[in-house]
């Protein structure tokens, strides 16, 4: 760059000197007179100067690039030293509580809880139970091929938060922006590559029209549903049988719903609670601590009362010694709430008779602590309790039934996400 700068004075002097001067020609003779024919014009000098300026500008850019490259290399060398520093940092608590907005717990006066996967947690055996009961129903009632009875639940296949495409038959994992993750598209049990995804969807991004064909598989109960859908799709593909992807979903979904609504799963769990339920010795301590601090507690679940009662007795038997009833911990107990419709419907509450297994006909205009209530809706719940939204926090595991729905009442929400514990362990390793 310095050499180019030294040329600039020369260009300037060339521009000022006239080689075609008559005096010069006369003094130097004929041979010199021919020199005027090659004297550079102003246009030539201007182009030469422009070339120099461009070259000089390119060198400035190159200097900037070299500077950025040096800074990047220095940052890279510094980054490679970070892992050693991280070893000295305190580990993240996998069982911690994390917030995405500020909250003052001293202003929270009411604590609400879902039951399944919130107060009650289950072992991996539960998914196999649901899977087996559902496939039996599809074979016996929907006349699916007998070979489906040989299917086995694969715990390594499904994850929470999948979508099923009823039109194309694919299981999808979408990112925050609604795009298919590169390794998150399966047709049956086969993972599709990026080219195959583009052939089906045109792009990885799911448009509004395509999104209408998607159904979410959001909670833990959907693990067995996603696996069964994939296994049946794979069977039809391998057998080279024509099928409608929408019908596969409808049949599997109906079978899963039957397993739950008929009580097959509930009776299976209660018949062997040690196999399916996971005890938590801190549960009773936590609930009692809230009561001692003067907080109100309520239970709002879609499960029937006999199932909740059996599960709570089993989980708390080591803590209570069979002396105290878990119902004394809660000011209101609502079962078979039919969430998420609970938040939008105007269905009335019914008082449930635990001894006769019947619903009373009297109008519910107040909640009694020693009573159990069925059905109901958010509107009536707020009218009866007078609990204001900001003073209520609700704990659950389902995105729509437990987290989005309560926000309509202004409730704070807390998500119980078991997968985060394993993710934190992986990150720390």
User: Is-catalytic flag, 114?
Assistant: yes
- Cα 204 from Cα 210, distance rounded (Å): 11
Set 58, 63, 114, 132: catalytic member: 114
Set 58, 106, 116, 318: catalytic member: 116
The tokens for 321 are 């010694």
- Cα 17 from Cα 10, distance rounded (Å): 11
Strands (E), 166-281: 170-174, 180-187, 190-191, 214-217, 277-278
- Cα 205 from Cα 400, distance rounded (Å): 23
309 is in an annotated binding site: no
User: Is-catalytic flag, 209?
Assistant: no
The tokens for 333 are 């107990």
244 is in an annotated binding site: no
Whether 283 contacts 119, CB under 8 Å:
yes
The tokens for 405 are 């729905």
- Cα 57 from Cα 167, distance rounded (Å): 57
The residues with which 165 forms a beta bridge, in sequence order, are: 214
Strands (E), 365-425: 372-375, 392-396, 412-415
- As a whole number of Å, the end-to-end CA separation of the chain is 51
Which residues, 6+ apart, have CB-to-CB distance to 24 below 8 Å? 32
Q: Is 386 buried (19+), middle (13-18) or exposed (0-12) by CB count in 10 A?
A: exposed
Helix, strand, or coil (residue 265): helix
219 is in an annotated binding site: no
Helix, strand, or coil (residue 119): coil
The tokens for 410 are 């202004």
Query: What are the catalytic residues?
Result: 114, 116
Binding residues: 114, 116, 397
Binding residues for Mg(2+): 114, 397
């Amino acid at each position: 760059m310095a050499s180019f700068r030294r040329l600039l004075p020369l260009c300037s002097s060339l521009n000022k000197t006239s080689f075609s001067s008559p005096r010069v020609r006369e003094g130097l003779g004929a041979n010199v007179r021919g020199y005027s024919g090659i004297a550079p014009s102003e246009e030539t000098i201007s182009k030469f100067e422009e070339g120099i300026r461009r070259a000089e500008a390119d060198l400035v850019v190159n200097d900037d690039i070299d500077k950025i490259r040096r800074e990047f290399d220095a940052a890279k060398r510094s980054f490679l030293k970070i892992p050693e520093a991280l070893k000295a940092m305190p580990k993240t608590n996998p069982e911690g509580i994390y917030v995405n907005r500020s909250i003052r717990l001293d202003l929270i006066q009411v604590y609400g809880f879902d039951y399944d996967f919130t107060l009650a947690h289950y072992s991996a055996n539960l998914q196999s139970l649901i899977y087996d009961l559902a496939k039996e129903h599809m074979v016996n009632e929907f006349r699916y091929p007998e070979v489906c009875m040989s299917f086995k639940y694969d715990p390594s296949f499904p994850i929470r938060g999948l979508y099923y495409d009823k039109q194309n038959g694919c299981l999808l994992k979408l990112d925050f922006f609604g795009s298919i993750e590169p390794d998150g598209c399966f047709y049956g049990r086969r993972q599709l590559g990026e080219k195959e995804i583009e052939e089906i969807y045109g792009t990885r991004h799911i448009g509004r029209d395509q999104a209408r064909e998607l159904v979410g598989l959001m909670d833990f109960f959907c693990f067995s549903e996603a696996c069964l859908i994939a296994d049946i799709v794979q069977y039809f593909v391998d057998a080279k049988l024509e099928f409608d992807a929408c019908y596969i979903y409808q049949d599997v979904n109906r079978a899963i719903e039957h397993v739950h609504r008929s009580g097959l799963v509930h009776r299976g769990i209660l018949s062997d609670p040690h196999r399916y339920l996971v005890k938590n010795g801190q549960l009773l301590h936590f609930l009692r601590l809230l009561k001692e601090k003067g907080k109100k507690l309520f239970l709002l679940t879609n499960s029937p009362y006999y199932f909740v009662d059996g599960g709570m007795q089993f989980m708390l038997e080591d803590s209570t010694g069979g002396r105290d009833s878990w119902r004394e911990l809660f000011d209101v107990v609502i079962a078979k709430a039919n969430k998420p419709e609970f938040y939008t419907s105007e269905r009335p509450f019914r008082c449930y008779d635990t001894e006769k297994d019947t619903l009373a006909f009297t109008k519910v205009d107040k909640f009694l602590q020693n009573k159990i209530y069925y059905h109901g809706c958010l509107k009536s719940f707020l009218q009866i309790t007078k609990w204001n939204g900001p003073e209520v926090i609700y704990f659950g595991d389902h995105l729509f039934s437990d987290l989005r729905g309560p926000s309509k009442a202004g409730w704070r929400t807390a998500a119980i996400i078991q997968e985060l514990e394993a993710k934190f362990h992986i990150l720390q390793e």
